[in-house]
Amino acid sequence: MREGWLSRHGGPRAKEGHHRGAVSMATDAPSGGRDTLVSEMANDVVAQQSAGIGRMERLRAPR
């Protein structure tokens, strides 16, 4: 089921690029204690999207 969904939406490689873009934007988010909510959210995005990237890399790995 997951592979069918991924193939209809550009495949794991396309979604991985989307996730990497989110990580890049979150990494560029303002920090330095000015807005703790923004920093917390950016950290959450990095963690969640990085986990998604790992799952997609495993889907592409030869079995």
SS (H, E, C) the chain: CHHHHHHHCCHHHHHHHHHHHHHHHHHCCCCCCCCHHHHHHHHHHHHHHHHHHHHHHHHHCCC
Q: What is the pLDDT of residues 12-60, one digit of tens each?
A: 677 888 888 889 989 888 766 678 888 899 999 999 999 999 988 888 7
Q: pLDDT band at residue 9, thresholds of 50, 70 and 90?
A: low
What predicted TM-score, i.e. pTM, was given to this entire model? 0.69
